[in-house]
Structures are given as structure tokens and as C-alpha cells.
Amino acid sequence: HGISGAAEADGLAEEIGLENSDGPSMPRVLRSALKDGLQNMRAVVFTEHGPASVLRLDEAFPRPKPLPNQILVRIKATCVNPVDFKMRRYPINNAICPKPKIIGTDFAGEVVELPSRGGGCKFKKGDTVFAKAPLLATQWGSFAEYMAIDPSVVALAPQNVSLTEAASLPLVGLTVLAAVKPFVDQWQDRTKGKRVLVQAGSGGVGTFAIQYCKNALGMHVIATTSARNADFVQSLGADEVVQYDKEPFEKVVASGRFSESNKLDLVLDPLGYKYCDLTMSSSVIGVGGWYVNIAGSDWGEQSADWLRLAIPEAQVPQMLSHAWRKLRSGLSAALGYGPHYHYVFVQPNGDDMNKLREAVEAGYVKACIERVYKLEEAQEAHTHQETGHVRGKLVVQVCDPASPQQI
């Protein structure tokens, strides 16, 4: 799978099966809609890789024409994720990132058309839904007024939040659910009181992880963030805050803070490219604990993939390194020393989207949105995201605010 930082796993084909149709066989959920030659829409696209300035608002981009198994969703809101600007920034060949490419994966909106074949669709026209769309081998994206998508990866939107809020949740929510899965599988309903460290606690993944681990799993949460965001992170439920600009993580490890009875049971780390070696080689995680490396890379400019296949965190050397770490840690954990290692790439997942909706409706997590942009402000939103200091998420409103179908 290693194609992008929020890449869809090739194994998804085994989970959803293949659709029988003319032409080459491929995973049903990854089959891309055609262009509607009669109807257009507004969409933010890029035709070449580069800085945020390559993004442009096309006022008359062809609407997607759904395949027989797909639903058509009128998108009300989307959001910016790091993988979006990395897919835009780093050269990737057209087979993987067809251009012109509509940017974006997360969305919330309203079902306006049902599958023309197959029957038994779980949705009806007018349902409000949210999802993370497939990222690869398709030119469609969520910075557009319409999305054609397989309903198997879509869920009803939470009824207790706006679609603006719902749009900010799919990728980060799916990431955290995938990250904690092996830990939860191990401990089942005995996670209460276990100790978790959440790196980058004020970011998109971090804000969701703090709330979910605290409220849904009952864990003791330690989070790292800047002094500026310490109160914010505590308000989300963090029991302890490590202010990295006052107390660098390296010094925290060396201080013995996480030793003896204070050892960690779980580490969720979106900064694995920076802290993985330090964490895994130290004794901060207890025997049988878990270190979860959440796919990521330094947000500064990195070397492009000479194969033009992947963004930095998904290039071949990185994927081989993760495979080796997983094998080595699995052996050491089985022998009773050292933590387990788990590496997370997020993928579209309808079952987990339903779990995400349930978590929101139960009040376990809420959306953390720093700012809402308009679709025509996509360049500005990307530039803002690339600073690396966003508190929570940046949302982009897609529908016309004056429309009767407003968010």
C-alpha cells in the first residue's frame, strides 16, 4: 500500500471484494466515477505539483457521473489534512495522482442520487453523510460541490453536530480508531486507568486522540504541546501536559518521569519520524505496551521520490523500515521484553465511520476547528495548514452560504 501519508491499503480489495464489470478488475471502492458531460460544478484543482499557488478554483469542472454502485453526494464542507498538501507538493505520476486533480479527501454532505444498480443501499436521498474518500488513482476529491463514492465507506453524519463539524472528523477519527485497535483488542474492556502518551496533542489527530482515549477508553492521558496550547489540551481531557518548548521530550525521557509505576501502556505518535527511535530505545513503555507510529513526515520540504510514487512517509525505504521494526518488536514482545510496534496508514472504512459517528453522538469527542474557509480561499487554507501549528482542524465550506441547502 505505501503510496501516501493517508494512503488506502491495497488489502482493502480483500475486505470489499471486486465488482464484476467490463474492463480491468479492480477494487470496487477504488473504481473512479466518469465525467458528466452535461453538468458542471465548482472545484479546486491542480494540474501540476508545487506550492499552494498551483491550486485554482475551476467554476465549471465536469460533475462526476456515478458508477452503478455509487451514490452522489452534494458536499457541504471539507477540511485540510497534511496529506492533501503533500500530495499537492511532491511530484507523483498521473497513474497514482491523475491530473487535473481535485484536492481533498474528507467531506460531509447530502445524498442526492442513489446507486442505479444493486439495490439494498443503506442510504436514502436527503440523508446527511460523512466519509473519507479514496485518495489514489482518481482525479476526484472533496474540494468540490459533488462526490461520487461507494456507499460502503460512507456513514450517516452525527445528528448532534453540524456538517461543518462532521467534515473535520473522518481522517483523524479513522486514524485514531486504527491506532488504538491492537491495544483495545489486547485489553478489551480493561483500558480504564491505563496510561497513554499523545504526541502533538493540539493537532488534528492529537485533539481527537486525547478525547477518545480519555472519554471512550477511560485512560490516563499525557499529551505534549506548546505552552501556548497547554490550557487548550487540558480542556480536552489531558491529565498531564508536557510543554515541549519548555521541556523537550528528550529531556522528559532522560528525567525518568516515565519509569517504574509510571511507565506508559500506549504511545500515539504522529511525530514518529522524530521520536520513534528515542521512544523505542528507551524504557518509557512498559513490557507488553504499544508504540504506534502514525504515518507522517517532517512538514518542511523533503526530497521528492525519484520514482514519483509516494510522498515522503510512504517511500520504499520508509516502508521497509516499518516492516523491520514491526518484525523485530514482535519477536522481542513475544519474549517478554520491549513494546509492540504498530504503524498506521488510514484507509476508507465504513464500519469505523459508524463507530466514529457513535463516539460523537455519545459525547466522547467533539470537533476542534481553528478556522472555516470558503472554497475560493483554498490556497490560503493550504498555506495555513503547512505552517504546522494549526490547533485542531481547518474546515472549508463548499456550498454557497446563501444557498437554501446551507450547512
User: Average of pLDDT values for 155-178?
Assistant: 98
For 389, residues 6+ apart whose C-beta sits below 8 A from its C-beta are 226
Closest CA to 364 of 185, 164, 218: 218
pLDDT band, very low/low/confident/very high, at 304 (cuts 50, 70, 90): low
Contact 43, 143 (CB under 8 A): yes
User: Average of pLDDT values for 203-217?
Assistant: 98
More confident residue, 22 or 28: 28
Comparing 21-35, 75-89, 217-231, the range with the smallest average pLDDT is 21-35
- Give the separation between CA 266 and CA 269, rounded to whole angstroms: 10
User: Average of pLDDT values for 32-57?
Assistant: 94
Q: Is pLDDT above 70 for 168?
A: yes
**In this structure, is the dihedral angle defined by the CA atoms of residues 283, 285, 291 and 297, taken in order, positive or negative?**
negative
More confident residue, 74 or 32: 74
- Three-state secondary structure string covering the chain: CCCCCCCCCCCHHHHHCECCCCCCCCEHHHCCCEEEEEEEEEEEEECCCCCHHHCEEEEEEEEEECCCCCEEEEEEEEEECHHHHHHHHCCCCCCCCCCCEECCCEEEEEEEECCCCCCCCCCCCCCEEEEECCCCCCCCCCCECEEEECHHHEEECCCCCCHHHHCCCHHHHHHHHHHHHHHHHHHCCCCCCCEEEECCCCCHHHHHHHHHHHHHCCCEEEEEECHHHHHHHHHCCCCEEEECCCCCHHHHHHHCCCCHHHCEEEEEECCHHHHHHHHHHCCCEEEEEEEEEECCCCCCCCCCCCCCCCCHHHCHHHHHHHHHHHHHHHHHHHCCCCCEEEEECCCCCHHHHHHHHHHHHCCCCCCCEEEEEEHHHHHHHHHHHCCCCCCCEEEEECCCCCCCCCC
Contact 84, 46 (CB under 8 A): no
User: Average of pLDDT values for 213-234?
Assistant: 97
User: Average of pLDDT values for 184-207?
Assistant: 96
pLDDT reported for residue 25: 39
pLDDT reported for residue 306: 64
Contact 2, 318 (CB under 8 A): yes
User: Average of pLDDT values for 250-262?
Assistant: 83
pLDDT reported for residue 10: 34
**In this structure, is the dihedral angle defined by the CA atoms of residues 375, 376, 378 and 384, taken in order, positive or negative?**
negative
- Give the separation between CA 90 and CA 131, rounded to whole angstroms: 25
More confident residue, 319 or 194: 194
Question: To the nearest whole number, what is the mean pLDDT of the chain?
Answer: 87
pLDDT reported for residue 8: 37
pLDDT reported for residue 404: 40
For 54, residues 6+ apart whose C-beta sits below 8 A from its C-beta are 46, 47, 48, 88
pLDDT reported for residue 253: 84
Comparing 220-224, 292-296, 355-359, the range with the smallest average pLDDT is 292-296
More confident residue, 332 or 303: 332
- Give the separation between CA 4 and CA 134, rounded to whole angstroms: 11
pLDDT band, very low/low/confident/very high, at 17 (cuts 50, 70, 90): very low
User: Average of pLDDT values for 63-74?
Assistant: 96
Contact 166, 158 (CB under 8 A): yes
pLDDT above 70 as % of the chain: 86
**Does pTM surpass 0.85?**
yes
Q: Is pLDDT above 90 for 194?
A: yes
Contact 227, 254 (CB under 8 A): no
pLDDT digits (tens, 9 = 90+) for 100-134: 999 999 999 999 999 998 677 999 999 999 999 99
pLDDT reported for residue 118: 64
∠ CA 147-363-406, nearest 5°, is 35
Mode of pairing for the β-strands spanning 340-344 and 34-46: unpaired
> What distance lies between CA 62 and its chain's CA centroid?
27
